Amino acid sequence: MSITDKWTSGADYDQWMGRWSRLLAQEFLKWLQIPAGLRWIDVCCGSGVLSEAIAELNAPASIVGADISAEQINFASQHRARANVTFETADAMNLPFPDGRFDVAVCGLGLNYIPDPGRGLGEFCRVTRPGGTIAVYLWDYANGARFLREFWDAAISIDSEAATFDQARRFPICTPEGLHGLFQQGKLKDLRVHALEIVTSFTSFDDYWEPLLTGQGSAPNYLATRDKKIQAAIRERLRAALPASAPGAIELPARAWAVLGRRP
C-alpha cells in the first residue's frame, strides 16, 4: 500500500505536532552548541518551529526554511518570518541553492519523509560549506515517542491495517543505528548521536485526541481514512490505556534521536 501523508495546513500541524516540535527544537539546539553569526538552512521546515527557535537561541546571520509544502511555507512566512529568516518552497532532494551556501544544515522531524533520505542528506551536504555542520533529529517511533506509540498500539489492536501506517514500521532509519549508518554512508565526519528527551503534557484526554482529527501528519492522516466506528473504537481504547492523573491530565515521556556530522 502506498501511503501519502498530508501536510497542507500549518495551523493544524502546529496543533498536532508544533508544541512538541518546539520543545524538541530547544533541546536539539542546546545540544548542538552552534556559535552565533552563521548561515543556516532548515530543510523540511514545516510550519517553521525549528527556524523560529534558531532565530531566538542562536543569533544567526540568516536562516532559510525550505519545505515542499507550499501551504506550510505560506503559514511559516506569515507567522515566523523575520528580517533574517525567510521561507521558500523547495524539494529536499533538489535544493535550489548553490554549493556551500550555508554553514549549518538542519532538519527536524522530516528526513524520514523524504522519499530518498540518502539523496536528501546528499543535498544537505552539497549546500553546506566544507567543515560545516549537518544535523537532524527524528522521533524514536518504536520505543521512545510514547504519545505516538500509544496511538499506534491502540489502532493496531482495533484495525489490523493500521500496522501499514505505523511509523515505526515505515521508517527504520529512526533509530540510533539507522541515523548513524545513514550519515556514515554519506561520508560525514565526527559523527555524534544523542537522545533528546521531553515530556508531552496534555491537560485532558480531549487535548490528546482532538489534534488527531486534523488530518495533518501520519497518525491523523491514518485516522481520517477510517470510518466513524473504527475512530470511536480507537478513541475509547486510548481513553482506557492512557495514564491520567485525578484531574485528567496526561503526561507521556517522548524521545527523539539526533545525529550530527561535519561535511568533509
> Phi, psi at residue 186, to the nearest 5°?
-80, 0
Instruction: Count Cβ atoms below 10 Å from residue 90 Cβ, excluding itself.
Output: 21
Dihedral sign computed on CA atoms, order 150, 154, 160, 162: negative
Query: What pLDDT does residue 5 have?
Result: 78
The band of 3, judged by pLDDT with boundaries at 50, 70 and 90, is confident
Say whether pLDDT at 27 is over 80. yes
User: Beta 250-262 vs 189-202: how paired, if at all?
Assistant: antiparallel
- Which long-range contacts link 60-69 to residues 24+ away (Cβ below 8 Å)? 60/36, 60/84, 61/37, 62/86, 64/40, 64/88, 64/97, 64/102, 65/41, 66/41, 66/42, 66/90, 66/92, 66/95, 67/7, 67/43, 67/110, 68/44, 68/92, 69/7, 69/8
User: Which grid cell sits at 99?
Assistant: 554549493
Instruction: Write the secondary structure of the chain as one string of H (helix), E (strand) and C (coil).
Output: CCCCCCCCCHHHHHHHHHHHHHHHHHHHHHHHCCCCCCEEEEECCCCCHHHHHHHHHCCCCEEEEEECCHHHHHHHHHHHCECCEEEEECCCCCCCCCCCCEEEEEEECCHHHCCCHHHHHHHHHHCEEEEEEEEEEEECCCCCCHHHHHHHHHHHHHCCCHHHHCHHHHCCCCCHHHHHHHHHHCCCEEEEEEEEEEEEEECCHHHHHHHHHCCCCHHHHHHHCCCHHHHHHHHHHHHHHCCECCCCCEEEEEEEEEEEEECC
* Span 41-45, average pLDDT: 97
Query: What pLDDT does residue 8 have?
Result: 78
* Span 217-238, average pLDDT: 95
Query: What pLDDT does residue 103 have?
Result: 98
* Span 81-89, average pLDDT: 96
Say whether pLDDT at 114 is over 80. yes
Query: What pLDDT does residue 117 have?
Result: 97
Average predicted confidence (pLDDT) for the chain: 95
For residue range 178-227, list pLDDT tens digits in order.
999 999 999 999 999 999 999 999 999 999 999 999 988 899 999 999 99
Q: Which amino acid is at 147?
A: F
The band of 2, judged by pLDDT with boundaries at 50, 70 and 90, is low
Query: What pLDDT does residue 1 have?
Result: 60
The band of 9, judged by pLDDT with boundaries at 50, 70 and 90, is confident
For residue range 51-82, list pLDDT tens digits in order.
999 999 999 999 999 999 999 999 999 999 99
Say whether pLDDT at 10 is over 90. no
Query: What pLDDT does residue 55 have?
Result: 98
Q: pTM here?
A: 0.95
For residue range 122-167, list pLDDT tens digits in order.
999 999 999 999 999 999 999 999 999 999 999 999 999 999 999 9
